[in-house]
Structure 1
């Protein structure tokens, strides 16, 4: 019989899989169309009246692609709209945020040593920050301040830095970087849903009615699409950051997160320049490498400074499992089999920090990770890797009995 922990785990897996699939579709189409638009040959006098064209070869065939700023005389009804890739990515990502960080707030969202608040308050702050971020960004784009692209991008970077600082002072390090990614992704999908698609619908309606479209609609849509182009790579980094504690569990997390956005700009500038046939800005390689080395330097010296006086307190979730039958035995099992790696100063050769920042040195640390211990070492053999510490079947059974006894 599958229990709720197992079903919840598979639900997270299914939603995460969906999120990855839709994100690949969105990012792929976004990168393709940016590269296509930048690479169009606009120096050709096309009889069709198109703004530019490009010939491409793929899959054993040849494609002649033309872009119209003003639609041809005959506009087909079956236009392909690239929108659901974006919507599905955001919806699946938001669902995953709810499943992992809102419902698992005591474990993943809140760190009492950062800010000791109930998980439900953290969830409210999470939701409010995503909505507020889009509103502030959108209002800024619609003002005269947003008419200057460079100035607007600098302001957007300033907002991101402030949000990095905010999130790292409210949530756990892991949740802070994840939320910064969700914050940015919300802006990107908001651009598609609230600006790009409505503007395109207005232009299409005008063309079908025989009216001359206002070119400003296309200009605004292009601006938002460019923002999305430069924000994509940092979002990918932030979404993967929970696998790497040096990125999220150190003392300089907010600075690292901010620098990641600069790396995204330098990388995309290289591709955009090359696709536009404007040269090969090799300086972007060195700038990206330099930023990355700074991130490494910021993370390594004080990645894990563990203060015993700032011990993780017992949350209601942890108390529930600390008081469950069999906890003393499981406590001894985990400390004997797992703490050589999962410690502030790991004893296992070659480890210099606890994997994923998880430590099992105190009762509170062990009890607060009850579900993970159950899934990783109780009903599966995922931990320890290769069973290097030789956890027995009897010990795994004890872990299962302990977790299940807590209801």
Structure 2
């Protein structure tokens, strides 16, 4: 990839990723605060940019409105821009160069397969009987994470391995 194009893509996608992450974290703080505040029976009033908002929590609504706003784009854009950064910086930028697996293409394949397999294993782990004990599930998750990190650092550069793990 052309160096100038790579640098500009890196810069644009990185700042987009940072901005999307800030939106996601801010939204998470807002909903965490609302979950704590809205446990009481009364609703809360908020003011923002000249408008007043009344928020009421319903665990099981009697009827859903025709238009329901989902707060999914902040997380989705953070994830997608993170994947774009992974591709631009590591896969296309040469930061995964290693000869342990026979070159960059094998390392890229290992990275993508690992992301898919780790997601499936995580879901299976937390749907298994082990999930009844949160501390036992956390210990098993930690042991698996350490194993993945150990394995990745044997086949990739350290920076690429830790970036892939997250």
* TM-score tier (shorter): 0.7 to 0.9
TM-score by length of 1: 0.38
Correspondence 1:104 to 2:90:
no
TM-score by length of 2: 0.85
Query: How many corresponding residue pairs?
Result: 166
The one of 126, 138, 142 aligned to 2:123:
138
Question: What displacement does 1:56 show?
Answer: 4.2
- Output one character per residue of 1:204-261: Cα deviation in whole Å (capped at 9) or x when no partner: xxxxxxxxxxxxxxxxxxxxxxxxxxxxxxxxxxxxxxxxxxxxxxxxxxxxxxxxxx
Quick one: structure 1 residues 116 and 71, their matched pair in 2 at CA, closer, same or farther if it must change by over 3 Å?
A: closer
Name the SS of the counterpart of 1:64 in structure 2.
strand
Quick one: structure 1 residues 175 and 13, their matched pair in 2 at CA, closer, same or farther if it must change by over 3 Å?
A: same
Q: Within 5 A, what are the aligned runs for 1:90-169?
A: 90-105=79-94, 108-112=95-99, 115=100, 117-169=102-154
- Max Rg structure: 1
Quick one: structure 1 residues 39 and 155, their matched pair in 2 at CA, closer, same or farther if it must change by over 3 Å?
A: farther
Name the SS of the counterpart of 1:109 in structure 2.
coil
Q: CA RMSD in A?
A: 2.3
Cα separation, 1, equivalents of 2:120 and 2:147: 15
- Checking the alignment, whether the CA contact within 8 Å between 1:102 and 1:119 is kept in structure 2 is yes
Q: Which has the higher contact order (CA 8 A, sep 6+)?
A: 2
The one of 56, 62, 83 aligned to 1:66:
56
- Checking the alignment, whether the CA contact within 8 Å between 2:38 and 2:44 is kept in structure 1 is yes
- Output one character per residue of 1:142-174: Cα deviation in whole Å (capped at 9) or x when no partner: 222223333323332222222222222221121
- Checking the alignment, whether the CA contact within 8 Å between 2:152 and 2:161 is kept in structure 1 is yes
The one of 8, 13, 16 aligned to 1:15:
13
Q: Which runs of 5+ in 2 are unaligned?
A: none
- Checking the alignment, whether the CA contact within 8 Å between 1:55 and 1:62 is kept in structure 2 is yes
Question: What displacement does 1:132 show?
Answer: 0.8
Q: Which runs of 5+ in 1 are unaligned?
A: 47-52, 182-407
